[in-house]
Chains A and B, each alone.
Chain A
Amino acid sequence: MASDMTKPILDALSASDAPIISNQAFPSIPSTNVKSALDRLGSRQMVEYETMDREVISLTEEGETIANNGSHEVKVFQAVVAAMDGLKISDLPGIVGKDNAKVGQGNAFKKGWIKKDKDLLRPNTESVVDDTRELLMTVKNTQTLGDQKAIADLKRRKLITLQKVVTFKISKGPKYAKEFVKEETDLTFDMLNSGSWKTVNLKPYNFKAKGAPTTAGALHPLNKVRQEFRNIFFEMGFEEMPTNRYVETGFWNFDALFVPQQHPARDLQDTFYIADPAKADPPREDPLNDPHRPKSAQPASKATTAKPLDYKDYWENVREVHQNGKYGSIGYRYPWSADECLRLVLRTHTTSVSAYVLHKLAADPRPARFFSIDRVFRNEAVDATHLAEFHQIEGVIADFGLTLGGLIGFMEVFFAKMGIHQLRFKPAYNPYTEPSMEIFGYHDGLGKWVEIGNSGMFRPEMLEPMGLPKDMRVYGWGLSLERPTMIKYGVSNIRELVGHKVDLNFIETNPAVRLEKD
Chain B
Amino acid sequence: MPTITVDKAALFKELGREYTTEEFDELCFEFGIELDEDTTDSDRPIVDGKQEPPQLKIEVPANRYDLLCFEGISLMLNIFLGRKPLPNYRLVEPSSGKLETINVKEDVGTGHTVAERTMKIRPYVSGAILRNIKFDQIRYESFIALQDKLHQNLARQRTLVSIGTHDLDTIEGPFTYEALPPKNISFIPLNQTQKMNGEELMTFYEKDKHLGKYLHIIRDSPVYPVIYDSKRTVCSLPPIINGDHSKIRLDTKNVFIEITALDKTKVEIVNRILVAMFSQYTSEPFTIEPIKVVSEHNKETRIVPDISPRKTEAEVSFINQCCGLDLPAAEICKLLEKMAYHSKPSATNPGLLDIEIPMTRADVLHQSDIMEDAAVAYGFNNLPRAFPNISGTIGQPLPINKLSDIVRMEAAMAGWSEVLPLILCSHDENFSWLNRKDDGNTAVKLSNPKTLEFQVVRTSLLPGLLKTIRENKTHTVPMKVFEVSDVAFKDLSLERKSRNERHFAAAWYGKTSGFEIVHGLMDRIMAMMKSAFITGEEGLENNSVGDSQYWIEELNCKSDFRHYNLDNITDTLAAPTYFPGHAASIHVRIAGKEHAIGSFGILHPTVLEKFELRYPTSTLEINIEAFL
How many angstroms between the C-alpha atoms of A507 and B475 in the bound complex?
12
How many angstroms between the C-alpha atoms of A459 and B471 in the bound complex?
45
B386→A405 contact, CB < 8 A: yes
How many angstroms between the C-alpha atoms of A471 and B438 in the bound complex?
51
A507→B265 contact, CB < 8 A: no
Partner of B502, one of A244, A247, A403: A244
Query: Is B284 interfacial (CB 8 A cutoff)?
Result: no
Query: Is B42 interfacial (CB 8 A cutoff)?
Result: no
How many angstroms between the C-alpha atoms of A408 and B381 in the bound complex?
8
Residue of A nearest to B368 (CB): A434
Query: Is A511 interfacial (CB 8 A cutoff)?
Result: no
Residues of A within 8 A of B367 (CB): 328
Query: Is B388 interfacial (CB 8 A cutoff)?
Result: yes
A329→B372 contact, CB < 8 A: no
Partner of B372, one of A278, A287, A294, A435: A435
B497→A280 contact, CB < 8 A: yes
The digit string for A181-222, where 1 denotes a CB below 8 A from any CB of B, is 000000000000000000000000000000000011111101
Partner of B449, one of A272, A276, A332, A501: A272
How many angstroms between the C-alpha atoms of A296 and B400 in the bound complex?
16
How many angstroms between the C-alpha atoms of A405 and B263 in the bound complex?
38
B446→A241 contact, CB < 8 A: no
Residues of A within 8 A of B499 (CB): 245
Residue of B nearest to A424 (CB): B381
B265→A333 contact, CB < 8 A: yes
Residue of B nearest to A347 (CB): B496
A248→B29 contact, CB < 8 A: no
**Distance in Å: Cβ of A226 to nearest Cβ of chain B:** 10
Most chain A CB neighbours (cut-off 10 Å) among B64, B160, B383: B383
Partner of B450, one of A238, A281, A381, A426: A381
Given contacts A240-B396, A247-B444, A366-B392, contact A409 B32 (CB under 8 A): no
B496→A223 contact, CB < 8 A: no
Partner of A273, one of B32, B419, B448: B448
Partner of A247, one of B394, B422, B481, B496: B496
We find that the number of chain B residues with CB closer than 8 angstroms to chain A is 106
**Distance in Å: Cβ of A303 to nearest Cβ of chain B:** 13
B414→A217 contact, CB < 8 A: yes
B421→A500 contact, CB < 8 A: yes
Chain-B contact segment, one of A1-9, A67-75, A118-126, A228-236: A228-236
B472→A503 contact, CB < 8 A: yes
Chain-B contact segment, one of A108-116, A134-142, A369-377: A369-377
B395→A238 contact, CB < 8 A: yes
Partner of A291, one of B264, B380, B400, B416: B400
Residue of A nearest to B490 (CB): A277
A296→B385 contact, CB < 8 A: no
A328→B366 contact, CB < 8 A: yes
A275→B502 contact, CB < 8 A: no
Chain-A contact segment, one of B113-121, B177-185, B405-413: B405-413
Query: Is B494 interfacial (CB 8 A cutoff)?
Result: yes
Partner of B495, one of A237, A272, A281, A412: A281
Query: Is B545 interfacial (CB 8 A cutoff)?
Result: no
Residue of A nearest to B414 (CB): A217
**Distance in Å: Cβ of A496 to nearest Cβ of chain B:** 11
A274→B322 contact, CB < 8 A: no
Q: How large is the interface on A (under 10, 10 to 19, 20 to 34, 35 or more residues)?
A: 35 or more
Chain-A contact segment, one of B243-251, B462-470, B613-621: B462-470
Residue of B nearest to A235 (CB): B395
Residue of A nearest to B405 (CB): A227
A274→B393 contact, CB < 8 A: no
How many angstroms between the C-alpha atoms of A501 and B160 in the bound complex?
42
Residues of A within 8 A of B392 (CB): 300, 366-368
How many angstroms between the C-alpha atoms of A294 and B399 in the bound complex?
9
**Distance in Å: Cβ of A328 to nearest Cβ of chain B:** 6
**Distance in Å: Cβ of B606 to nearest Cβ of chain A:** 20
Query: Is B356 interfacial (CB 8 A cutoff)?
Result: no
How many angstroms between the C-alpha atoms of A331 and B376 in the bound complex?
22
Query: Is B423 interfacial (CB 8 A cutoff)?
Result: yes
Chain-B contact segment, one of A22-30, A87-95, A394-402: A394-402
Query: Is B337 interfacial (CB 8 A cutoff)?
Result: no
Query: Is B49 interfacial (CB 8 A cutoff)?
Result: no
Query: Is B589 interfacial (CB 8 A cutoff)?
Result: no
A238→B381 contact, CB < 8 A: no
A434→B369 contact, CB < 8 A: yes
Given contacts A399-B390, A435-B375, A501-B471, contact A217 B265 (CB under 8 A): no
How many angstroms between the C-alpha atoms of A131 and B445 in the bound complex?
83
Partner of A500, one of B386, B387, B470: B470
Query: Is A450 interfacial (CB 8 A cutoff)?
Result: no
How many angstroms between the C-alpha atoms of A287 and B310 in the bound complex?
46
How many angstroms between the C-alpha atoms of A236 and B395 in the bound complex?
7
Query: Is A242 interfacial (CB 8 A cutoff)?
Result: yes
B417→A508 contact, CB < 8 A: yes
Given contacts A247-B444, A424-B381, A437-B380, contact A279 B398 (CB under 8 A): no
B412→A217 contact, CB < 8 A: yes
A239→B420 contact, CB < 8 A: no
Most chain A CB neighbours (cut-off 10 Å) among B363, B400, B414: B400
Query: Is A325 interfacial (CB 8 A cutoff)?
Result: yes
**Distance in Å: Cβ of A324 to nearest Cβ of chain B:** 11
How many angstroms between the C-alpha atoms of A408 and B387 in the bound complex?
8
Query: Is A467 interfacial (CB 8 A cutoff)?
Result: no
Residues of B within 8 A of A327 (CB): 366
How many angstroms between the C-alpha atoms of A268 and B14 in the bound complex?
41
Query: Is B31 interfacial (CB 8 A cutoff)?
Result: yes
Most chain B CB neighbours (cut-off 10 Å) among A249, A294, A434, A498: A434
Query: Is A158 interfacial (CB 8 A cutoff)?
Result: no
Other than the known A243-B398, A424-B381, what 18 A-B pairs have Cβ atoms closer than 8 Å? A220-B420, A245-B496, A264-B156, A276-B444, A281-B495, A292-B398, A344-B497, A388-B450, A408-B381, A408-B383, A413-B387, A424-B29, A429-B32, A435-B375, A460-B366, A500-B421, A503-B472, A504-B479
A-B contact pairs, 21 of them (CB 8 A): A238-B395, A249-B495, A262-B263, A268-B448, A272-B447, A287-B494, A295-B393, A330-B365, A344-B498, A379-B449, A388-B422, A388-B424, A402-B322, A410-B387, A426-B380, A429-B64, A431-B63, A502-B468, A502-B471, A504-B472, A504-B479
